[in-house]
Amino acid sequence: MSSTLLILIIVVVAAIAFLVYATQKASGRKSAESLADAKADARRVIERLGGQVLNLTGTDEASKQALADASERYTAAASQIDQATTAKQALLARESAVEGLYYVRAARVAMGIDPGPELDELTGQRSAGVVTEDRRVEFEGREIEASPGPSQRTPNYYPGGRVAGRPVPAGWYSEPWWKPALVAGAWGLGSVLLFDAMFSGMNGVDYGAQGFESGYGDGFQQGYDQGQLDSGGGEQGGDWGGDQGGGDWGGGDFGGGDFGGF
């Protein structure tokens, strides 16, 4: 009797061990397939960006600057995809490449040629808003301008999104006032005052200094709460708060403290 029971126990344990092994093997195969698919998709977008960067030459300051930014994003995306070991990392590389395509699109607009097809929306782009009117403000002894379109005074483009957790509206600027936060991963004290002076009351940017300081604009929290209900958890909040905020892109893409004061 005891011998039969022992054999039964061994059979049950073996069956459980085989089930666990089979499940882990299937999960590993699925993860590998997801990574391969994500890498292939990212490489497709990166190659598209590389072709645009190689084949376009800027004709004025705005288009040249936009193409330089596109080239930086291409370099970053190529490096990210080479180092990607998870599907999420591959998606981040793809996001960098899509951002680069926005800079290419901006360069084409600045040169007066067909901007090309619509692009996938970037993380945080919709909630960041868009510059809808010309603004010029005095800040720390210099003039900073924002405009819906490129000009000699506003040659620096940003496609809109979140930098170091805070929204930066899409538009053309006299200087890249967001880059110190992109490099450092954090905003300086003066950034809130600059943002409020630049965008207060602007249609298309529906939040003020408090919203900028908190990291989102009017309606963003409601959308976040709804997303929590739809997804049933906190994963999306963590993704939005950290992935886009500059830590993954930061470092050596942009030079040191040339933009001081923010």
State residue 208's pLDDT score: 67
What's the angle, vertex CA 74, arms to CA 73 and CA 80, rounded to 5?
85
Provide the pLDDT confidence category of residue 243 given band limits of 50, 70 and 90: very low
State residue 216's pLDDT score: 54
CA distances from 47 to 44, 51, 77, 80, 133 (A): 5, 6, 10, 14, 35
What's the angle, vertex CA 65, arms to CA 199 and CA 44, rounded to 5?
100
Residue identified by tokens 């004025």 is 60
Long-range contacts of 12-18 (CB under 8 A, 24+ apart): none
What's the start-to-end Cα distance of the chain, in Å? Answer: 80
Give which of 207, 166, 206 is closest to 187, Cα–Cα. Answer: 166
Q: Is the pLDDT of residue 247 over 50?
A: no
Q: Give the pairing type, strands 161-163 and 166-168.
A: antiparallel
Tell me what the mean pLDDT of segment 118-138 comes to.
Answer: 94
The string over 132-167, giving b where at least 16 C-beta atoms fall within 10 Å of a residue's C-beta and e elsewhere, is beebebeeeeeebbbbeebeeebbbbbbbbbbbbbb
Residue pLDDT, tens place only, 171-183: 999 999 999 998 8
Q: Is the pLDDT of residue 242 over 70?
A: no
Tell me what the mean pLDDT of segment 78-82 comes to.
Answer: 96
The mean predicted confidence, pLDDT, of the chain is 81
Residue pLDDT, tens place only, 2-38: 777 777 778 778 888 878 877 777 766 767 888 999 9
State residue 220's pLDDT score: 39
Tell me what the mean pLDDT of segment 126-148 comes to.
Answer: 93
* Contact yes or no for 198/162 (Cβ under 8 A): no
Q: Considering the entire predicted model, what is its pTM?
A: 0.72
Q: Is the pLDDT of residue 233 over 60?
A: no
Whole-angstrom distance, CA of residue 122 vs CA of residue 139: 29
Query: Does 261 or 198 have the greater pLDDT score?
Result: 198
Q: What sign does the dihedral 144-124-121-201 (CA atoms) show? A: negative
CA 227 to mean position of chain CA atoms:
19
Q: Is the pLDDT of residue 224 over 60?
A: no
Residue pLDDT, tens place only, 30-66: 678 889 999 999 999 999 999 999 999 999 999 999 9
State residue 1's pLDDT score: 53
Quickly count: other Cβ atoms within 10 Å of residue 57's Cβ: 10
Q: Is the pLDDT of residue 249 over 90?
A: no
**SS3 for 189?**
coil
Q: Is the pLDDT of residue 87 over 90?
A: yes
State residue 209's pLDDT score: 66
